């Protein structure tokens, strides 16, 4: 909140008296706390690509949408020496607002039998274009990998909320040894910061001034 005070020195006769007004401006009405938050969005439908095989669910996106990873209970897999891409739609944002500072896509993957022969990359699809994270060789235990985009890689400008709502996220799996490579979880985190001021001026009076009758 904000407070104000004023001291006045008058020589000679008083011309007026003043006191703090009972109808002070509500400064809090134009102040937004500096809120730095993160909204997490998970797959809710198939995207452009559904090349991997679903295991444990009938649809690929249902194999990777859980909030707590269920590892080998549900996952998508690539085998037979193939390289395959899965992307998934996500719901429109519902919590985030203000300026988007970064977008981070996460995947949780593993090789089925032999470490360091199979690989994975994160995928995002924005403005009908695919962007891939770092090609990473996988261990045989599930491990989380992520790629962060501080700006939209297509426009090189700050992300917009419309772009978030249209975003697809996913994974590219490389089976380099005619075996299996698995992904059990995919999600995206959108980091944002709220604006500090609204630019408005609150109504109200700082002081009540009473002219001297004399």
The whole-number pLDDT of residue 88 equals 99
**Whether the Cβ atoms of residue 169 and residue 105 lie closer than 8 Å to each other:** yes
**Whether the Cβ atoms of residue 66 and residue 44 lie closer than 8 Å to each other:** no
Q: What is the C-alpha to C-alpha distance for residues 80 and 161, in angstroms, rounded to an integer?
A: 39
Q: What is the C-alpha to C-alpha distance for residues 49 and 171, in angstroms, rounded to an integer?
A: 10
The whole-number pLDDT of residue 2 equals 47
The whole-number pLDDT of residue 113 equals 85
The whole-number pLDDT of residue 1 equals 44
CB count, 10 Å around CB of 43? 27
Helices (H), 5-160: none
**Whether the Cβ atoms of residue 46 and residue 61 lie closer than 8 Å to each other:** yes
pTM: 0.77
**Whether the Cβ atoms of residue 161 and residue 167 lie closer than 8 Å to each other:** no
- Cα 129-71-132 angle, rounded to 5 deg: 20
The whole-number pLDDT of residue 122 equals 99
Q: What is the pLDDT along the chain (214 residues), one digit of tens a residue?
A: 444 445 555 555 666 677 777 887 776 666 665 568 999 999 999 999 999 999 999 999 999 999 999 999 999 999 999 999 999 999 999 999 899 999 999 999 999 988 788 999 999 999 999 999 999 999 999 999 999 999 999 999 999 999 999 999 999 999 988 789 999 999 999 999 976 655 567 677 767 777 776 5
Domain assignments of the chain as residue spans, ordered by start: 18-33+197-211, 36-193
- Return the sign of the alpha-carbon dihedral for residues 176, 181, 187, 192: negative
Fold of the CATH domain 36-193:
Jelly Rolls (2.60.120)
The whole-number pLDDT of residue 41 equals 99
**Whether the Cβ atoms of residue 169 and residue 49 lie closer than 8 Å to each other:** no
């Amino acid at each position: 909140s904000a407070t104000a005070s004023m001291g006045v020195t008058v020589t000679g006769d008083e011309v007026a008296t003043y006191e703090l007004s009972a109808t002070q401006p509500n400064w809090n009405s134009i102040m937004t706390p500096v809120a730095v938050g993160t909204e997490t969005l998970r797959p809710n439908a198939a995207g452009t690509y559904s090349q991997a095989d679903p295991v444990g669910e009938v649809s690929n996106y249902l194999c990777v949408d859980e909030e707590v990873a269920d590892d080998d209970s549900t996952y998508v897999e690539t085998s037979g020496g193939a390289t395959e891409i899965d992307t998934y739609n996500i719901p429109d944002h519902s919590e985030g607002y203000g300026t988007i500072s970064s977008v981070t896509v996460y995947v949780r993957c593993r090789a089925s039998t032999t470490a360091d022969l199979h690989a994975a990359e994160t995928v995002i699809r924005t403005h009908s274009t695919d962007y891939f994270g770092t090609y990473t060789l996988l261990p045989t235990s599930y491990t989380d990998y992520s790629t962060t985009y501080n700006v939209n890689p297509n426009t090189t400008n700050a992300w917009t909320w419309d772009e978030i709502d249209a975003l697809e996220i996913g994974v590219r799996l490389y089976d380099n040894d005619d075996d299996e490579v698995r992904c059990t979880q995919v999600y995206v985190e959108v980091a944002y910061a709220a604006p500090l001021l609204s630019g408005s001026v609150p109504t109200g009076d700082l002081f009540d001034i009473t002219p001297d009758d004399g």
